[in-house]
Structures are given as C-alpha cells and as structure tokens.
Amino acid sequence: MPTPTSTSPTAAPSAPLPAFAATAAKLRDTVLASSQAFDIVRSLSDEAGHRLAGSPGNRAAVAWALRMLPQYGLQNVRAEKAMAPHWERGPASAAITAPHPHSLAVLALGGSVATPKGGIEAEVIEAASVEAIGKLDKAAVKGKIVYVSTVTERAKDGSGYGKAAGARVQSASAAAKLGAVAVVIRSIGTDNNRLPHTGGMRYEDGVPKIPAAALSIPDAELLGRLLRTGKPVRLRLELAAKTHGEVEAPNVVGEVVGRSAPDEVILLGAHIDSWDVGTGAIDDGAGCATIIEAARQILKLPERPRRTVRIVLFNNEENGLGGARAYAKTHENELGKHIVALESDFGAGRVWSARYLGAPASRKLFLSITELLGPLGVEVPEIDARGGADLIPLRPAGVPIVDLLPDGTTYFDYHHTDNDTLDKINKDELDQAAAAFATFAYAAAEMAGDFGRVPDDKRAFR
Amino acid sequence: MPTPTSTSPTAAPSAPLPAFAATAAKLRDTVLASSQAFDIVRSLSDEAGHRLAGSPGNRAAVAWALRMLPQYGLQNVRAEKAMAPHWERGPASAAITAPHPHSLAVLALGGSVATPKGGIEAEVIEAASVEAIGKLDKAAVKGKIVYVSTVTERAKDGSGYGKAAGARVQSASAAAKLGAVAVVIRSIGTDNNRLPHTGGMRYEDGVPKIPAAALSIPDAELLGRLLRTGKPVRLRLELAAKTHGEVEAPNVVGEVVGRSAPDEVILLGAHIDSWDVGTGAIDDGAGCATIIEAARQILKLPERPRRTVRIVLFNNEENGLGGARAYAKTHENELGKHIVALESDFGAGRVWSARYLGAPASRKLFLSITELLGPLGVEVPEIDARGGADLIPLRPAGVPIVDLLPDGTTYFDYHHTDNDTLDKINKDELDQAAAAFATFAYAAAEMAGDFGRVPDDKRAFR
C-alpha cells in the first residue's frame, strides 16, 4: 500500500493497472490541485441555508442546483418529482424547575408532536437506553418525563452512532407504553457544546404519541448529576412542532453522458435537504459538493468516459427518504443497468476506506480500481459496503454499492446541530474526498466489465 | 527549576528555603492528592446556575456561600453589603434578510439598550475594529447597522482578549457618533461554535445609545462572506434588554484567622457573580472553588498560619465592580495591612506562571516562596502582576499583587457563553491550581517580612 502522502500513480500498485489508469491517476491529481468543492459547498450553504423538505431553504436549494449544475457543465440537468412529509419545528424550551432551576438547551426531535400550549411539567426518571426503559416499572414511569442517557461513542467509522441512534428513534414509544408524558434524550453526539442534536424519530402504531426532544450533552449531564443527588428532579418542556401534509420536494439530477454506453449508469448520490438547523454545510452540503466537483472534473477530461456518471441530489433524506424512493420508482426499469452506486453522506473528512458490495467474482475488478486510490491513503478492508440511506431503495434490485468512507471522527460533534456550518469544513480534506470520488467514478465508467449484482442474501439493509 | 512532573520539595531549590517550607511543600502535595475543588465548583454551578447581580441565581449563590463556607471550616463568614447595577437580557433575535435569509445566533452585550419592539432592520456596513469605525464616512454609516469584525487571537496568557475586547466595549458609541442604528460584533472569543459571547459594553456620555449585540463566530463569518459578494446585506435585530435601578449584591467573606498576626491579611479573591449564560462554572466558579479549597486545606494544617488568609467572593465583577469597590471602601483602614492580594479569575487551567507587583526590594522574598511552586511547573518570569479586575480598587493603596496565572489557551472558547459549564473543567488542572494558591497563601501568611507597597508609578491599572 503506498503511503498516504505520496501522490504518484506509480508508487506501489500491487496488481497490473487497467488501461485507463493513467488518465484516472491524472484526474485524481488534477482534482487535488484544482478542486472547487469548497466553493460549491460555500455557495449552497450560504445561499440556501438549512433546507428541510417543505421549507423555503429546500426550495432555494433545488433552485440553486437547477441553476448551478449547468454552470458546472453537467448535462441533462432536471428536477425529478418526489414527495416528502412536511414537519415544522417551531420554538422549543425546557427547564429544570427542581431542585435547582436551570434553563436547558433543547431541540424537538424530528417528527415529534407538540406539547400542549404552556408545556408539560413533570418529575423525571432516567433510563440508560431504550432497552432499559422497557425494564422500568409502569408505576414508576406513569405521568413522568423519561430521560434517556445513552452515550454516543466517538469512532472513525461512525459505529458509535449506529449503536446509540435507537435511543433517539424509539424512546418515545417505549416510554409512552409505560405511561410517560414525554421523553428527553441525551443528544446523539460526541461533543460537549450546548447545542442539541436533532434527528428523526418514529412513533409506533397504536401507541400514544408523546413529545420527544434532545438536550445538549452538557445539559443532559447536569440533569444526570441532579438525579444522582436523590432529590426529585422536575422538568418543564414546551414544543410547538407542527406536522403538515405531504409536500413536493424534488430530487435534482445531472449527468456526464457516457460516450459509448450512455445507458449504463455510475450513480453518485448525496442529499440536497438538511435538518432545519445550522446551514447543512457538512450534512450534506459537503456530500453534494464532493459529487458535483467529481462530475465537473470528469467533464473537463479530453473525452467523456464510456458510461454515464449520474449525479443525484436526493431530497428528503433526513425525514422520510421520499426522494430516494421516488428515484428508485422513476428509474425502476434502468436499475439493471446501474453499474454501481456511491453516496457521499458522512461529512467532509478525508476518505480513508473503500468498501465493496457486489458480485463476489467482481471484487478483483474493484480491487484493481482501488489501486488508484492508494496514493490518497485509502485502505481496502474486507468489509461489505453499506451505502448511504438514499441507496436503500436500490438494494432490492441488487445494484452494487461502493463506500468511499470519510474519516468520521468529528462528524458527530456537529451532526444535526446548529453547529453544522461551513467553518467546520477543511478544504484540503474535502478536496481529497472529491478526488477519491472522481477517480473511482471515472474508472468505473471506463472499465471493461462490471460488478454484477449483489447476491440475494446481501440485499437487505442492516 | 524542578521539572513539572516532580512533586518532591527537595528537587532543586536554587536558594535556601524559608523555615516553613517543609509544611508548605506538604500542604501542596496534600492538596494535589485530596483536593475537593471540583466538588465545590460542581456544587456552586449546579445549585445556583448563572448568577448576574440582581438575578435569582445571584441570590442563590450568596446563600450557597453563606451556607457552605462554614461547612468548609472557614471562620468569620459573612455577607458584606455591596450595590450593583441590575440589567436583564431578555430575548434576542437576529437574522440576515438579504441577499439570502439566515437566522443568526446572537446575544445582547451586557448593558445594551433594547431595540424598539419589532426590531431594527437595516443595511450592514463592516468595520474591522473600533478605530476603523472612526475612519468610515458619516454618510456611509448613517442609518446602518455596523458590523465589527475584530478577530480574537488564541494565547496562553490571554493577551488576545486584551487586544480585542475594545471592540465589544466601545463599538456602540463609536458607531452611534456616525449615525448608526445598531452594532453587532464578531464575538470576542476563540471558538467556532454557534454560541455568542456576551460581556460588558459602555456608552459614552452625550452619545446616543444604540443597541449592541454579539454574533457567534460562525455567524459573523457568514455575514462577512455575504458582504464580500458585494450585494447589499440587510440585518434584522431585536433585543428586549432592560436596565433597572441598583440592587444589593453582597460580597461573601470568610477567613482562616491568623494565629499571631490576625490583622495582617493575605487576600484571595474570586467572583461569585457570572454573566447570565451557561452556569458560570469556569467564570468564575472555578476561581471560587480554587480559593475556597486553598483555605479549606490550610485550615486542616496542625496550626493556623501566623497571618489571616481571607477569602473574598466578590460580587458584580462582570458588570460594575460594585463588590470590589465596596470591599475597598469597607476595609479602607485595613488596606495598609493587606500583605498581598491574589485573584483567581482566569479559568480552571493549570497555573504555569507566577508574577509579582510589590516593593522591588521584596522581590527576593517572592522568589524564595515561588520555589515551592516549582514542582507544580510554575515559571516566574520578570513580568509585573496585573491582578484580576476585583483588585483594581485596592491599587491606589499600594497593596502588593501576585498573579498565579492559569493556562488560558482554551479560556476564550467558553468565556461569557452558554458553553461555560462544568463539563469543560478538568479536575486535575483545577486541583493543581488549588495547590498553587494554597501553597502561596500559606507561605505568605507564615513568612517573615512582607512585600512592602507597590511603588507609586505602578499603582495605576493598565
């Protein structure tokens, strides 16, 4: 494996490179030297701001993409219809009222119902996890606010989030079954700022819907300390969230049309929507910029690659996957010719790991291409790719998936918070990611052969 | 100089140690091993929360000190009357309304007037500093909101704050002289969180009072980027601040009464008030805990030191120095017997530098005492001590001042923000500071001789 600091394509390939390797290597180094990815995410996040489906920012972002993608040279730029739920946060407030008054930093979880006007005030009972809620006595929970104190562990691959996010998604219904009047969770995040992390939650059918909110981590720790004094702790919570009907929230698509096999598609995905906090610079402005820049640079090559590289800016990733489902439906008959799909939706860090999910026999081909990423410091472990959430609806069709995984060590410091802003993005790291996506996409669009289909037993998203 | 990791009092003294050195060294090591400083700051910040003069938290903090200092063993615990201005923040909001809408994280500066109800909306003009405001054309400023973009540099000794804070204190009047309708500043801070830094500002007599607020640093940078596009940028600002009359905000005093010279005083100061954000854990709960723990440990020695060690928890440091002025007035006739004053009001970091301001002939005595701090890693540069703000009213009387300066590298990440909470404090660092204060205070209370008086030409606070 070449060292991460080398950028020479001849550094140490351990297998013969395919014929187009020289062009791919030059593309990679050109992107590193001339990437505009940071300007692209700056433009999107400064001009549209945050952009939850149904919001003015979401409409501004779609308009931005329809205006800018042609300027970046993309072909066949169009909006594709998709529907999304329309939820509005409204103001939120929370305070500890006993034993010592403290105002708390709080955000409603996405999809939460409102509290009654004037709020709810009740005694607090703690549970360390969703599972722990289930073990509480119904009598101890009835009429109380359940505080769920699950801790999110920091991890380069984001695995701490996967272990913790259930506390956000499932706590409300778990607590409501025992008669709780609301839930507040310790934010699913790894920082220590007074900025709560929002994110999606779900109500189970047939269970009363109770308000659900996230406290910032320092506030959650304060609440925990007061609970440990043994004195009754009371909390007041007021949420003014509103759930409306469905709303249009289109995907935006653009292409580098293949020169000889235009119906064979290399799909690069990211999502144009964001939560309604911060400016969505990291989640997922950075992903949009990564794939747009990759396409922009491929378009500047002397000739377009053999296959089509299709950019899809999915809408409504955050609270419904309406865009992803619409794409899979609209393009149902083309999915057999989707050679591979990649999504950039894990921040703006350096790509450090490439993972594959396709026909086992084609893994060799994948490995030969990833040789081109060695000079970027990308490892290729024997771990199946998972794809971003927007690729879930493609999985039943067996579309091969490749992950180019960014370093997520700090991702959950900012994820779904007001701190998700441009200043958190390091230009050099984002440029490296754009180089990785450009190189892989070009190679996949040019290579002889394909990755087959994902075996049936690996098509379910886990 | 002994190495910072050594804790042996015999490691490398470069001059003969005074007779009480063995007791002082043992005290230092005992504090390191058994400090309760973290528990003290936890108790204060969790129970009283933030505590600006006039607020319920301020009264709770005074009650906390009157209840807890006797429990920590302190003698002669009492409140001493002091008056303070009473200012209430109320809600604040700000938004960029053109060319692209963005809501902004904003806090009123302390002492600001309110905007009219419904807010002010105006075009924005940028100035890089207070001085740069003065160079703007009156015609260009009239009717506008001035944005002051002064950057605070990170520095271990806090020097970046001193250079930048004028932008917070003076911008409103500088801009009002040219007809501005409001000012917003880039927060005086070194972080990149969406949490603005409040802090005191002053209106000049005879100049119209205009509203003044701080934007979080990411918001300020967004505003700067939009201004650099050349399009007119408009801002809406609404502040509901209220200025009331004066209010009682007493100091709390406690003592280790000297065994043979009780009228000679070693003053350890910190401030019990805080800004009305966060829980004031760092500013200045940590300082209160440092000096309380120092006194608590001195009280546990086999015999009390010769002189009195007096803890003063000053009130109203943040917005008036009413407590400091009251102390100097109340104790006017004793100041000649104040041997030395130290204040802990620069966070919870490790003490790394000891500085002296007293009679030049007594510097030798100071140096012999600071040998005891060598094992804590404390340097003794040839720089005059400045003291905390609460020591300013003692300076005309020539009371010697010693600084035990904590490492302030991260202090201005949290200073005056909602992020000033307990979780930011490292127990080991706070314990080291408590050990340094205990050791120095004990030695100064026991030593033969004194530090004389500060020379006349060094009594002014600069």
- Inter-chain CB proximity A105 and B423 less than 8 Å: no
Side-chain half-sphere exposure of B341, counting CA atoms within 13 A:
31
pLDDT in tens, B382-393: 999 999 999 999
Q: Nearest residue of A to residue B104 by CA position?
A: A278
Query: Distance (Å, rounded) from C-alpha B375 to C-alpha B6?
Result: 5
> What contacts B189, CB < 8 A, 6 or more positions away?
B152, B197, B217, B412, B413, B415, B416, B417
Q: Nearest residue of B to residue A98 by CA position?
A: B47
Neighbours of B333 (CB within 10 A): 7
**Sequence letter at residue B245:** G
Q: Which residue in B194, B226, B421 is closest to A218 by CB distance? A: B421
pLDDT value of residue B237: 98
Chain B nearest CA to A383, separation (Å): 35
Short-list A375, A302, A355, A366, CA closest to A28: A375
The structure tokens 């509203």 sit at B211
pLDDT in tens, A385-407: 999 999 999 999 999 999 999 99
Mean residue pLDDT of chain B comes to 95
DSSP state of A302: S
Short-list A234, A17, A11, A16, CA closest to A104: A234
> Parallel, antiparallel, or unpaired for β A338-343 and A261-271?
parallel
Six token digits for residue B404: 């035990």
Chain B nearest CA to A218, separation (Å): 6
pLDDT value of residue A12: 42
- Inter-chain CB proximity A101 and B226 less than 8 Å: no
Burial grade of B257 (CB within 10 A; 0-12, 13-18, 19 or more): middle
pLDDT value of residue B461: 87
Six token digits for residue B279: 């829980």
Six token digits for residue A232: 């009754």
Chain A nearest CA to B90, separation (Å): 13
Query: Distance (Å, rounded) from C-alpha A43 to C-alpha A164?
Result: 33
- Please determine, for residue A3, whether its predicted confidence score (pLDDT) is greater than 70: no
- Inter-chain CB proximity A422 and B221 less than 8 Å: yes
Chain B nearest CA to A437, separation (Å): 28
Buried b (16+ CB within 10 A) or exposed e, A421-444: bbbbbeeebbbbbbbbbbbbbbbb
Length of chain A: 462
- Inter-chain CB proximity B222 and A194 less than 8 Å: no
3-state secondary structure of B143: coil
pLDDT value of residue B19: 72
Cross-strand bridge partners of residue A242: A88
Six token digits for residue A330: 């609209």
- Inter-chain CB proximity B102 and A193 less than 8 Å: no
> Parallel, antiparallel, or unpaired for β A182-186 and A145-148?
parallel
pLDDT value of residue A17: 60
- Inter-chain CB proximity B225 and A278 less than 8 Å: no
With bands split at pLDDT 50, 70 and 90, how would you rate the model's confidence at A462? confident
Phi-psi region of A377 (alpha: psi -120 to 50; beta: other; left: phi over 0): left
In A128-176 the beta strands, taken as DSSP E runs, fall at: 145-148
3-state secondary structure of A158: coil
- Inter-chain CB proximity B419 and A218 less than 8 Å: yes
- Please determine, for residue B17, whether its predicted confidence score (pLDDT) is greater than 70: no
- Inter-chain CB proximity A279 and B102 less than 8 Å: yes
The structure tokens 């300082």 sit at B287
- Report whether B157 contacts B346 (CB < 8 A): no
Active site positions of A, annotated: 317
Cα angle vertex A188, ends A185, A189, to 5°? 135
- Average pLDDT, integer, range B216-226: 98
The structure tokens 């300390």 sit at A225
Six token digits for residue B161: 């704050």
- Average pLDDT, integer, range A364-380: 97
Mean residue pLDDT of chain A comes to 95
| Residue B428 main-chain phi, psi, to 5 deg | -65, -40
CA A342 to chain centre: 12
Six token digits for residue A17: 């490179």
- Please determine, for residue B107, whether its predicted confidence score (pLDDT) is greater than 90: yes
Q: Which residue in A46, A194, A419 is closest to B222 by CB distance? A: A46
Contacts of B43 in chain A (CB under 8 A): none
Active site positions of B, annotated: 317
pLDDT in tens, B392-420: 999 999 999 999 999 999 999 999 999 99
- Please determine, for residue A334, whether its predicted confidence score (pLDDT) is greater than 60: yes
First to last CA, chain B: 30
Query: What is the gyration radius of the CA atoms in chain A, in angstroms?
Result: 23
Tally: H helices and E strands in chain A: 13, 17
pLDDT value of residue B239: 98
- Which of A39, A88, A100 is most worth mutating to test chain B (most B CB atoms within 10 A of its CB)? A100
- Inter-chain CB proximity A279 and B56 less than 8 Å: no
pLDDT above 90: percentage of residues in chain B: 95
CA B193 to chain centre: 21
Cross-strand bridge partners of residue A110: A200
Query: Distance (Å, rounded) from C-alpha B357 to C-alpha A434?
Result: 57
Q: Nearest residue of B to residue A64 by CA position?
A: B100
Size of interface A-B (CB pairs under 8 A): 70
> Looking at A66-70, A104-108, B3-7, which range is the least confident one?
B3-7
Q: Nearest residue of B to residue A60 by CA position?
A: B100
The structure tokens 């005309």 sit at B396
Six token digits for residue B248: 């009682």
In A64-180 the beta strands, taken as DSSP E runs, fall at: 75-80, 83-88, 92-98, 102-104, 106-108, 120-127, 145-148
> Parallel, antiparallel, or unpaired for β B102-104 and B92-98?
antiparallel
> Parallel, antiparallel, or unpaired for β B242-248 and B83-88?
antiparallel
- Report whether B459 contacts B392 (CB < 8 A): no
- Inter-chain CB proximity B278 and A424 less than 8 Å: no
CA B190 to chain centre: 16
> Parallel, antiparallel, or unpaired for β B182-186 and B145-148?
parallel
Query: Distance (Å, rounded) from C-alpha B451 to C-alpha B394?
Result: 15
Interface of chain B toward chain A, CB-CB under 8 angstroms: 42, 46-49, 56, 60, 100-102, 105, 192-195, 217-218, 221-222, 225-226, 278-279, 417-419, 421-424
- Please determine, for residue A6, whether its predicted confidence score (pLDDT) is greater than 80: no
- Report whether A316 contacts A53 (CB < 8 A): yes
Short-list A348, A345, A367, CA closest to A356: A367
Short-list B294, B440, B453, CA closest to B367: B440
> What contacts B47, CB < 8 A, 6 or more positions away?
A100, B60, B64
CA distances to A164, A208, A290, B21 from B444, in Å: 53, 67, 62, 11
pLDDT value of residue A255: 98
pLDDT value of residue B462: 80
Q: Which residue in A47, A225, A423 is closest to B218 by CB distance? A: A423
pLDDT in tens, B117-131: 999 999 999 999 999
The structure tokens 């902004």 sit at B104
Six token digits for residue A415: 């994820």
- Average pLDDT, integer, range A105-109: 98
Contacts of A194 in chain B (CB under 8 A): 195, 278, 417-419, 421
With bands split at pLDDT 50, 70 and 90, how would you rate the model's confidence at B12? very low
Six token digits for residue A335: 């999915």
- Inter-chain CB proximity B100 and A48 less than 8 Å: yes
Contacts of A49 in chain B (CB under 8 A): 100-102
pLDDT above 70: percentage of residues in chain B: 96
Q: Which residue has the higher pLDDT, A261 or A3?
A: A261
Q: Nearest residue of A to residue B218 by CA position?
A: A423
- Inter-chain CB proximity A101 and B419 less than 8 Å: no
- Please determine, for residue B347, whether its predicted confidence score (pLDDT) is greater than 60: yes
Q: Rounded to a whole number, what is the largest CA-CA distance in chain B?
A: 73
Q: Does the interface ipTM go beyond 0.85?
A: yes
Interface of chain A toward chain B, CB-CB under 8 angstroms: 42, 46-49, 56, 60, 100-102, 105, 192-195, 217-218, 221-222, 225-226, 278-279, 417-419, 421-424
- Please determine, for residue B18, whether its predicted confidence score (pLDDT) is greater than 70: no
pLDDT value of residue A385: 98
- Report whether A222 contacts B422 (CB < 8 A): yes
Query: Distance (Å, rounded) from C-alpha A98 to C-alpha B420?
Result: 21
> Looking at A6-10, A378-382, B258-262, B345-349, which range is the least confident one?
A6-10
- Inter-chain CB proximity A101 and B49 less than 8 Å: yes
Chain B nearest CA to A450, separation (Å): 44
Chain B nearest CA to A436, separation (Å): 28
pLDDT value of residue A192: 98
Cα angle vertex A197, ends A196, A203, to 5°? 115
Chain A nearest CA to B414, separation (Å): 10
Contacts of B418 in chain A (CB under 8 A): 105, 194
Phi-psi region of B330 (alpha: psi -120 to 50; beta: other; left: phi over 0): alpha
